[in-house]
């Protein structure tokens, strides 16, 4: 591996790294992409299930949505999107409800028949039952926004499963607001101008992005096994965990991860929707995915379906998903970012690099702007 022959070294063949690679190659730069997994695409990776032929997202359902016209134009260079519109349902006490909380959710849960103009007054009465003026933790903040009954039904158990922490021990700042809809609109991404699933899945996007004579992709290679071979004057775009890059100099950042359990069901349709949440703590998984519903344009000729149960776990360092933005981790990541700023040839970005949860469109936007910044440096 002749590292010195490349203009740019990229760690990670996920969305951030692949956009950087595509932009750099388009400008005539020689790029090497180092990926420790056996596939490109990062957590967006999709493949076809052998038993059912259904395309599924290996690391959890990814819905592309954005209102950024530049990002939408860019991603459409590599794929076409179907007309899928995301909706989320939640099971509580063996009954299905719509999420985010809307008029149907409230009427169904309380077994009433409110009109749109009555919803806010009703919620205020629920909130005033406890009258929490200065919430000191996540639970108190949630109750101050929706009342105890809705909180305990739809948020408490799910939050405990997702973070494995008592909501009373979580900071109130985690929860800024709860979106309530006073009508029956069940569209999940209400403010997105563009939404859909790539026809054929996400993996073909990455194949096209990285299909260039100026790009070499090395799979099953750990960046840290070759880091010492990189000349100091080379530009590195690192999209892995920021703390690991600096050998945990200031300590290890905390992450949550996800585990998935695939099952083949001998029915044509198991749950009637792509994602079903389970809000009760006694049910160990947080969600069930049924990926065939992501592709209404495909007619699957099968009496089988694929479901995937999702479990939230503490990450052991192998597959971080969600940053835990408590005070300890926020202080630690600032120290690591200061280290990055001291290296003019180093860009540490993406969800893992920034220690922030990003939607896909935000990751693309960030990659495009980061490359533009890099271009100005080398002009």
344-369 pLDDT per residue, tens = 899 999 999 999 989 999 999 999 99
Is the backbone peptide bond immediately before 50 cis, with ω within 30 degrees of 0?
A: no
Q: Is 270 a catalytic residue?
A: no
Establish whether 23 is a catalytic residue.
no
pLDDT of 102-117, one tens digit each?
A: 999 999 999 999 999 9
For the question of residue 287 being annotated catalytic, the response is yes
Strands 305-314 and 287-289: antiparallel
- Residue 213's pLDDT band (boundaries 50, 70, 90)? very high
What are residue 262's phi and psi, to 5 degrees? -85, 140
List, for residues 280-295, the tens digit of each pLDDT value: 999 999 999 999 999 9
Q: What is the pLDDT of residue 177?
A: 66
DSSP label of 253: P
pLDDT tens profile 264-318: 999 999 999 999 999 999 999 999 999 999 999 999 878 999 999 999 998 877 7
Q: Which of 256, 280, 354, 365 is catalytic?
A: 256
Tokens encoding 310: 């999702």
Q: Write down the catalytic residue from 128, 261, 269, 357.
A: 357
- The span from the CA of 19 to the CA of 364, in Å, is 7
How many CA within 13 A on the CB side of residue 163? 19
Catalytic residue among 139, 186, 254, 310: 310
What residues pair up with 111 in beta bridges, in sequence order? none
The 3 state secondary structure assigned to 179-227 is: CCCCCCCCCCCCCCCEEECECCCCHHHHHHHCCCCCEEEECCCCHHHHH
Instruction: Please give the model's pTM, rounded to 2 decimal places.
Output: 0.94
Percent of the chain at pLDDT exceeding 70: 99
Catalytic residue among 22, 181, 351, 365: 181
Domains in the chain, ordered, with CATH? 3-40+210-251+324-378 (3.40.50.720), 88-174 (no CATH)
* Model pLDDT, residue 1: 65
Active site residue 310: yes
| Whether 355 is catalytic | no
For helices 119-128 and 138-146, angle between their N-to-C axes, nearest 10 degrees = 140
Least confident interval from 20-24, 46-50, 210-214, 374-378: 374-378
Residue whose entry in the numeric block shows the structure tokens 């690192």: 238
Q: Which of 49, 152, 326, 359 is catalytic?
A: 359
Catalytic residue among 92, 287, 315, 336: 287
């Amino acid at each position: 591996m002749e590292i010195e022959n490349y203009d740019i070294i990229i760690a990670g063949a996920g969305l951030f790294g692949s956009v950087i690679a595509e932009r750099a190659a388009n400008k005539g730069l020689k790029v090497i992409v180092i990926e420790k997994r056996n596939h490109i695409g990062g957590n967006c990776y999709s493949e076809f299930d052998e038993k059912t032929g259904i395309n599924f997202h290996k690391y959890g359902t990814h819905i592309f949505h954005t209102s950024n016209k530049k990002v939408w134009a860019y991603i459409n260079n590599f794929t076409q999107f179907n007309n899928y519109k995301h909706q989320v349902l939640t099971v509580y006490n063996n009954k299905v409800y719509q999420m985010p909380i809307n008029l149907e959710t409230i009427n169904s849960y309380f077994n009433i028949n409110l009109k749109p103009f009555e919803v806010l007054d009703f919620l205020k009465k629920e909130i005033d039952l406890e009258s929490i003026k200065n919430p000191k933790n996540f639970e108190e903040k949630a109750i101050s926004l929706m009342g105890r009954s809705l909180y305990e039904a739809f948020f408490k158990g799910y939050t405990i499963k997702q973070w494995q922490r008592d909501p009373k021990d979580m900071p109130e700042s985690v929860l800024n607001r709860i979106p309530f809809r006073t009508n029956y609109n069940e569209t999940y991404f209400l403010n997105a101008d563009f939404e859909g699933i790539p026809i054929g899945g996400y993996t073909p996007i990455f194949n096209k992005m990285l299909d260039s004579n100026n790009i070499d992709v090395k799979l099953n290679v750990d960046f840290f096994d070759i880091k010492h071979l990189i000349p100091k004057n080379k530009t590195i775009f690192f999209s892995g965990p920021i703390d690991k890059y600096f050998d945990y100099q200031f300590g290890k950042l905390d992450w949550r991860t996800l585990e998935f359990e695939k099952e083949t069901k001998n029915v044509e349709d198991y749950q009637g929707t792509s994602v079903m949440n389970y809000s009760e703590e006694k049910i160990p998984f947080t969600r069930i995915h049924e990926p065939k519903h992501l592709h209404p344009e495909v007619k699957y000729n099968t009496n089988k379906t694929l479901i995937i149960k999702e479990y939230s776990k503490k990450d052991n360092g192998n597959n971080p998903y969600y940053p835990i933005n408590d005070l300890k981790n926020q202080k630690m990541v600032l120290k690591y970012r200061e280290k990055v700023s001291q290296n003019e040839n180093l860009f540490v970005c993406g969800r893992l690099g920034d220690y922030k949860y990003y939607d896909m469109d935000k990751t693309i936007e960030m990659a495009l702007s980061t490359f533009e910044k890099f271009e100005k440096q080398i002009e």
